[in-house]
Structure 1
Amino acid sequence: MAVERPNKNPYSNFNFIVEFDGTEVAAFTEVTGLDSENTPIDYREGADATSAMRKIVGIETYPAVELKRGVTGNLVLWEWRKEVRDGGTTFPPVKQVTIKLLDEAHNRNAPAMTWSLTNAWPSKLTGPSLSAKGNDYAVEQLSLVHERLDIS
């Protein structure tokens, strides 16, 4: 459940955790794509030739959610992606993904806000860009498609 701050100051965007089916399996450095959109449909009744078009609500769509993390050698994301590629026991192998925004005290039991992705599965796993010229850490990116986004 969302918790509004008494002082009205915004929460910091770096205090978050990501869970797959209720378990935190990896630490991510960035999450983007927590969007929801309804495409408007222009509508006019056949006998109503004089008035302007009405806008009615169309299908809700969601972009892929992008998760970035440093490469640690943990293959849990690759194993999930491989299930999609190879056609695992359930296809696609969906999970409930939860992104929790935490307060400054890192209270995991009472997150400030929670985004829930229903029936999410990895459509793409991007490996790191490797270069001997820099000192950045290696980052991989996971693209998740999903059927619904809910916020609480």
Structure 2
Amino acid sequence: MADDGSKQSTATYALVKFAFQVKWDDKEFVFSEVTGLTAEAQVIEYRGGSSKTNSTVKMPGLLKYGNVTLKKGMFKDDKAMWEKFKALNMNTIKRATILISLLDEAKEVVMSWTLLNAFPVKLTVTDMKSDANEVALESIELAHEGLSLTK
């Protein structure tokens, strides 16, 4: 009898990346693309003056997080990203916790990442071309102070 796939383990297939959600201060926003979920440890190199080796010792240093870019289609009278960016005013902006979740085929959260103390640093409005056949997109770039896997 052929296997209909109904008894397969959830670990059989890799996750898809086209279904996700973004919550900014507990309000859900719809984006078409999320990029820049990166974290890296800076490397500290040290060599003691009495070391007999001709190389440095390497050890982990401070963590560094890349900016995250969120892209979405532009809609008439949708000014949500502009309002978020416009609130930026010399360190007086309310920093936000942003939750980015990867969803499975049933739209259930499979994995989530949290951006801590995020704030907008760049807003890009679509480029306009008279011969283009594309959706108008806007993007907002966020700086943040931490990336954690929360699920």
Where relative contact order (Cα < 8 A, 6+ residues apart) is larger, the structure is 1
| Secondary structure in 1 matching 2:27 | coil
1:129 corresponds in structure 2 to 127
| Secondary structure in 2 matching 1:96 | strand
1:119 corresponds in structure 2 to 117
Amino acid in structure 2 at the alignment position of 1:58 = G
| Secondary structure in 2 matching 1:130 | coil
Amino acid in structure 2 at the alignment position of 1:100 = S
> How far has the Cα of 1:92 moved from its partner?
3.0
Q: Which runs of 5+ in 1 are unaligned?
A: none
Amino acid in structure 1 at the alignment position of 2:98 = V
Q: Distance in 2 between matches of 1:115 and 1:9?
A: 21
Q: Which of 7-16 and 44-53 deviates more? A: 44-53
Q: Which of 111-120 and 37-46 deviates more? A: 37-46
Amino acid in structure 2 at the alignment position of 1:17 = Q
Q: How is 1:3-152 mapped onto 2 (pairs within 5 angstroms)?
A: 6-24=10-28, 26-50=29-53, 52-72=55-75, 73-84=77-88, 86-87=89-90, 91-107=92-108, 111-152=109-150
Q: Which whole-Å deviations, capped at 9, do the CAs of 1:15-48 have from their partners, x for residues lacking one?
A: 0000001220x21000000000111111122332
Normalization by structure 2: what TM-score?
0.86
Q: Distance in 2 between matches of 1:149 and 1:8?
A: 27
Percent identical pairs in the alignment equals 35
> How far has the Cα of 1:94 moved from its partner?
0.7
Amino acid in structure 2 at the alignment position of 1:11 = L
Normalization by structure 1: what TM-score?
0.86
Q: Which whole-Å deviations, capped at 9, do the CAs of 1:103-134 have from their partners, x for residues lacking one?
A: 10002xxx111010000000000001111212
> How far has the Cα of 1:149 moved from its partner?
0.3
How many matched pairs? 141
Specify which structure has the higher proportion of strand. 2
> Does structure 2 retain, via aligned residues, the 8 Å contact 1:96–1:117?
yes
Q: Distance in 2 between matches of 1:132 and 1:79?
A: 28
Q: Which runs of 5+ in 2 are unaligned?
A: 1-8
Amino acid in structure 2 at the alignment position of 1:69 = K
